[in-house]
């Protein structure tokens, strides 16, 4: 189970979350339940109407960006 303390949210990702109305709880839900895809520099979790681009750094999740799916 992922906790809020396990998230390392970049300034860019925080700005996107605020603009799109995505909460840290929704980020965790996407990481736990979403479909995961390998990317060039990290992973992409796609869940419901939004996606999370992230990297795993040790035992933390570095959230790079958040965006709405179209």
Q: Summarize pLDDT for 20-52 with one digit per residue, the tens.
A: 999 999 999 999 999 999 999 999 999 999 999
Contact 59, 3 (CB under 8 A): no
Predicted local confidence at residue 19, as pLDDT: 97
Mean of the pLDDT values across residues 49-66? 98
In terms of residue numbers, what domain contains 37?
4-68
Predicted local confidence at residue 13, as pLDDT: 98
CATH of the domain at 29: 3.30.2310.20
Predicted local confidence at residue 30, as pLDDT: 98
Give the number of domains in the chain. Answer: 1
24 Cβ contact partners less than 8 Å away, ≥ 6 residues apart: 4, 7, 9, 17
Predicted local confidence at residue 28, as pLDDT: 98
57: pLDDT confidence band, cut at 50, 70 and 90?
Answer: very high
């Amino acid at each position: 189970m992922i906790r809020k303390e396990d998230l390392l949210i970049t300034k860019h990702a925080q700005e996107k979350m605020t603009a799109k109305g995505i909460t840290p709880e929704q980020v965790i839900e996407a990481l736990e339940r979403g479909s995961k895809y390998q990317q060039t520099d990290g992973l992409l979790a796609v869940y419901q109407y939004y996606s999370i681009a992230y990297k795993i750094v040790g035992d933390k999740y570095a959230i790079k960006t958040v965006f709405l799916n179209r």
